A and B are shown apart, each in its own frame.
Chain A
Amino acid sequence: MTDVSNRIPRSRQKEAPRDAYRWIGRSMKRVEDPRLLTGHGTYADDIHLSGMAHAAVLRSPHAHARIKSINTSKAKALPGVILVMTGAEAAEQAGPLPCFANPPVKQMCIAVDRVRHVGEPVAAVVAESRYIAEDALELIDVTWEPLPVMADPEAASRATGDGVLHPDRGDTNIAFRRSFDFGPVDEDFAQADHIIRRKLRWPRSGAQPMETVGAVAEYNPGTGKFTIYANTSMYNYVGWLVAVSLGVPAHRLNIVPTLAGGSFGSKIFTHRVMVIAATLARASGRPVKYIEDRIDNITACDAHGCDRIYDVELAVKEGLMTGLKCRVIDDYGAYFQFGVGHHGNSLSQITGPYRLRSVRLDLTAVLTNKCQQGAYRGFGSDVSNFVLERMVDTAIAELNDDPIEFRRRNFIQPDQFPYLIPTGNMYDSGNYPAVLDRALGLLDYAGWRKKQAEARQNGRYIGIGVATCQERSVFSATEFWMLNEEPGFALTSSPESVSLKMDPTGKVYVALQAPFWGNSPETVATQVLAEQLQIDPQDIIVTYSDSDHGLNGTGPGGSRFTVMLAGAVVGAAHQLREKLIRVAAHMMEADTNDLELRDGKVGVRGVPGMEKTFAEVALHAHYFRLSMPDDPSLTSGLDAAHVYDHPVTTLPADDRKDLGIFYPIMGHMCHLPVVEVDIETGKVRFLAYAAVHDCGTLVNPMTLAGHVRGGVAQGIGTALYERYYYDQQGQLLTASFMDYLIPTVHELPDEIVVGHVETPSPFTEYGIKGGGEGGRMGAPPAVASAVEDALRPLGVKIDVLPLTPRYLRTSIREAQRRQVAAPA
């Protein structure tokens, strides 16, 4: 790979932001909703195929063990059982699951000679009903040889021999070990007048959407082709990798998306469930439905969130932050599907909204006997936001500075954009002081500081949290491999596509390449297309392409879908517009330059009566070829397709001192929660919450606010309630919803007041930026900040999540004892 220059590429924006729109910017009711409201949405478990059978999976009770024997004879003999398959049998028919790490870590859809985490599939049963399949699971006899359990990443990093999970990769559980320097780190620390040090712990929580992962697979023995219905994404990007796992050429697999009942990253690829369902379908000769139950999903969804231990140092000189050093141990679990992509992600915004000029990242990724990490809303930047803001709060406390003014002083200023951060990524635009001021106003920050002072006099512990964080959007494919010693498959494409057609009656069809996750792709596509064509949204219908018919489309993730979809729609709409105008020009004997689209018609600018409806133009375009000019480019019909590539991305430098521009569409947020801590019980309640987000031009403010609030709710879950808790034997103690605690309405603020600031991107269509993940990326640091502020009189420091009542009460009790023992 050649050296890269760090010049910022020219913008390819076709549609500049403007002051007024017809459809963009409206809080339009969602197009998706009628079928969801009436119970007529089709989710994975709603798929019913004739002759369909049902699968269930035997989950490993051990965290680490060799499978000595599996006896399936009793299970097979149970009436209603069609097939029982062990991992060894599955491995004869299906190869390893896709892995983006290099070198890859081999994962089979069903464990073969050993299990590496509690819940890992050990065998699968196909039966006439899920009930019978589960009965059969109880009849499978497995004998085990337990192996040393790697439950602690530090211990795991030192293990050899039997404690190594993947000996074929070497006699170590360390999957990745590398240090990166960006900018003059040593110099900044040598010249600092103050160095802040802190150890921080971010344990794993996870998406836990209300719908689990599921697939219905059928195999046609006449064509040798699989069809898999699944609540998956990326089927039009890397779906063919599933065909590779199944041992068939890519065109012998069609993946058909169902609605997803939430994903938050956990359904980004769903390879294991699809490969299990398809393998069982081929082997049994029946269509097979495999839907994870909740325990399957909690223990083995392949999508746990980040799990990290940080040792951090921050250099400050004259009140300005200069350098940041992070030593991180990341507990990745038993497999490594995304490699250290989560850390590439962090490096896109690791310096936050501040003018920090150097960064050192010392990263050790360790494999342990837990479910592997996947993608969870934030994908690593949620953690680095937490880490940075904790360091900022610490600096403020140690320097006796003001939480607002310190941040303001350190902000990148509005006239400094586009801004290159030390890692090489670019922030395209922003106005951080404006977001901060808006948030302070929305909350009535000054008012709450007064109330806090009074409350402290009355023995109440009220805290105001401050978090000013970045929310990057639109990932580039480079983040997946740029940190590897050897890149492996160094892909650089992450496009999105749409195809459009207008039928002879003037209705417009938009086909998407990626699924519905609860984001609002149909509404976004409709609003942008309506804006482009000046057509009534009622005349637009959005459909979803399966992989047979799909174009290259990366799908949702990394807050990219709205931006990328808008880009694809604009590109295709431009082509469609041009053709509409050409046909209409011919029909009206006008000059194409004099025509415009208005209200579902093509008309002569400035001449109200001279126009043709889209229906008239479309009919003509479809059927009357011979009455149009003899120009080969004027084909019958009205259709267009567009592949929209990432609008601005560059390669990393060979020496990786510059990672290139890889996540530049940079949103920003300020979260200000107010909490009260009951110091006797450790319970936290919210008194207020303001969140201001800058996501550039807003397509639909209502749906964006929905994502902010939903993300805040998940962030509050991460901060106060949720943890996948593994004990020393690798047993998952939070294996059901009884112990994995998802917030209800009662645990959240009465109102999350959402504000918007818009600094458009110079690079995207209409200046749109993504905003799907922001809420969850801001709430954990904000809540940690608020609790620490509340407990400031007691000197309790917040270094760890979740802040359960037991954890806080214990910290408070210890702090009170310290105060009694050594009064100030």
Chain B
Amino acid sequence: MPIASESVRVTVNGTMYERNVEPRLLLSDFLRHELGLTGTHVGCEHGVCGMCTILLDGRTARSCLAFAVQADGCQIRTVEGLGTADALHAIQEAFWEMHGLQCGYCTPAMLMAAVELIEANPNPSREEILETVGGILCRCTGYQTIVEAVELAARRTRERAQ
């Protein structure tokens, strides 16, 4: 049977993309291979590990559990939209200072989840931070420095606002 094609228009990190895709193309593969945004990683493709976490219309979502066609008309933010080596986002700075990463594979996901949390609430409780970090696996750090990084980023965000 011919491969059906659907049109997708999606804004990623502020840039609008228009593509024709097979309905079954996963959003994670669309971002990584169709758009070349390989910062978002893939770890399990069954929704458990969280490596593929991105912001979809402002909320974290597992991109391996969505089809690219579903993102038509949506706004997506990925790690590439946060900062660059010369101009790191506050959350990236905090992770760097607190050693919140080792292999870096879960880092983009952790960063996006932290962004969701802090942008909604720059004064999160420890429980809310744990809930945020709890949704993504890390095999390297034991999580403690990730939690500390999120706390630091939240504190700095509050200070900057004052």
Contacts and interface: CB of A to CB of B under 8 A. Distances in A.
Given A210-B49, A211-B105, A294 B140 contact: no
B157 interface: no
Nearest to B33: A48
A588 interface: no
B158 interface: no
The 6 residue pairs across chains A and B that have the minimum distance between CB atoms: A39-B39, A518-B103, A261-B105, A36-B104, A709-B142, A39-B79
Contact of B144 (A35, A207, A263, A752): A752
Contact of A262 (B38, B80, B139): B139
Given A33-B101, A211-B105, A738 B43 contact: no
A261 B84 CA distance: 21
B139 A210 contact: yes
Interface string B127-139: 0001001111111
Interface in B21-44: 22, 24-25, 32-33, 36-44
B41 A706 contact: no
A294 B105 CA distance: 15
A261 B48 contact: no
11 contacts: A33-B96, A37-B83, A131-B22, A210-B103, A210-B137, A264-B139, A294-B45, A705-B99, A742-B137, A742-B139, A744-B133
Interface residues of A, number: 60
B122 to A, nearest CB: 20
Contact of A38 (B22, B49, B83): B83
B106 interface: yes
A255 B44 CA distance: 26
A607 to B, nearest CB: 39
A29 interface: yes
Interface size classification for chain B: 35 or more
Which of the listed residues A33, A262, A264, A748 has the most CB atoms from chain B within 10 Å of its own CB?
Answer: A33
A39 B40 contact: yes
Given A262-B105, A703-B99, A210 B41 contact: yes
B41 A702 contact: no
B97 interface: yes
Given A41-B104, A736-B44, 11 more contacts: A38-B39, A42-B38, A45-B32, A45-B42, A706-B140, A742-B137, A744-B135, A744-B143, A745-B147, A746-B134, A752-B142
A803 B42 CA distance: 30
B160 interface: no
Contacts of B44: 294, 736-737
Nearest to B106: A210
B101 A709 contact: no
Interface string B76-100: 0011101111001000100111010
A732 to B, nearest CB: 15
B121 interface: no
Contacts of A48: 33, 36
Contacts of B111: 37
A210 to B, nearest CB: 4
Nearest to A746: B134
Interface string A1-45: 000000000000000000000000001011011111111111101
Given A706-B140, A712-B142, A746-B134, A43 B99 contact: no
B138 A39 contact: no
B107 A738 contact: no
B88 A29 contact: no
B102 interface: yes
B78 A294 contact: no
Contacts of B99: 27, 29-30, 702-703, 705-706
A128 to B, nearest CB: 10
A518 B142 contact: no
Contacts of A263: 103
Nearest to B84: A38
A38 B81 CA distance: 8
Given A38-B39, A710-B140, A737-B48, A518 B108 contact: no
